[in-house]
Amino acid sequence: MLAVVPNGLFSDLKNPHQHYASTFGSVGYILPVAYSSRAPWLTGRPVDPHRINLPLVQTWLQHCKKKHSCTMRYSRPSNLRMIDCKTLDIVAAPPNCNYFALSYVWGAPSAISPAATQDPMVGPGAREVLRRAAPVVRDAIAVVQSLGWRYLWVDKYCIPQSDAALKGEQIGKMDLIYEGAYCTIVAASGSSDRDGLPGISTARTRQPAFSHSGAHFVSSLPDPQSAVRQSTWMTRAWTFQEALCSARRLIFTPQQVYFECKGLHACEAVELPLTLLAGQHARPVLFRDEWVQGARRFGALGAFWAAVREYSGREMTFDSDALAALEGVLRRFQASPAFVYNVFGIP
């Protein structure tokens, strides 16, 4: 692994290791491309700027399915609607169907993006509405299709907007909807639904690469966790619950795709044996399950306030949504070993 360091970079630092990690997390490393099955265990992987590595994503999903217990703990809500990615219809969710969910930044309503009060599923024009859906939704549909799956849940298109009672019920159970998804597609690269997914409809940042003496080298690209932390998506209040409750997350950054589940984290640009990326080596940045499941170990109120502190620093369009966007997390604290109950968010 190679890195170019400015002279005196660490000379006046009290914690050079921490600065080293933060500095190169933002720019990446130079890694050799694997040349045989006996290549070093840490190598770089070429990243196509125009297309995500679908076989690699399939490998991650299959590894998780076989090796981990990333399954939902609670009952999935009833009366769900899904986008049928095969027919482009909005349909009632088949019993026990596997589906993907989309987590993204809404942005302001536009001509191709219905407002929250509109119900695009009512009437014969539903299929046409999906064909004209926002780029991030069209790209998510393409991802589901390419991975060989059929159903996708997107809040703006699958929550009934004209039925106030059902709408309120499903918004109150969005944590269960995301937890029930086989995988959540996270659009961490844009500032609204008008920004497509990099590697699907938009190009990604080109990966630096060079060859020397017959050997090929590529950049590891910036740390995807850093890219997620710096994204608009990470600043939004609703996405806190969506990320926390999702069992698996396929995260699109401007440079590459990054995968997280309860037992694994992996990215396109760096090639490591999956066994080295799982278990004690996996430190997902978005999934803070220890806040809830480990409440007894860390102290019930301490864990509760850690989650609330993280959530409170995020932005929200409508202040009236403040409790609803955290309701699923609060429900998990109530079901945790420490039984942290609350009244309107107050423990």
**Alpha helices, DSSP H, located in the chain:** 16-27, 54-67, 126-131, 135-146, 155-158, 164-171, 174-180, 224-229, 237-245, 290-293, 295-298, 300-312, 327-334
Q: What is the pTM of this model?
A: 0.86
Q: Clarify whether residues 161 and 112 are in a common domain.
A: yes
Q: Clarify whether residues 292 and 280 are in a common domain.
A: no
In a domain, 14, yes or no: no
Average pLDDT over residues 111-123: 52
Residues whose CB falls within 8 Å of the CB of residue 3, separated by 6 or more in sequence, listed in order: 24, 29, 30
Q: Clarify whether residues 155 and 265 are in a common domain.
A: yes
Average pLDDT over residues 311-319: 90
In a domain, 224, yes or no: yes
In a domain, 306, yes or no: yes
162, 94 Cβ separation under 8 angstroms:
no
**Residue 296, domain extent:** 288-347
Give the pLDDT of residue 16.
Answer: 42
Residue 300 confidence class, pLDDT cut points 50, 70, 90:
low
Give the pLDDT of residue 38.
Answer: 64
What domain count does the chain have?
Answer: 2
Rg (CA), the chain: 21
Average pLDDT over residues 50-70: 92
Q: Which residue has the higher pLDDT, 186 or 107?
A: 186
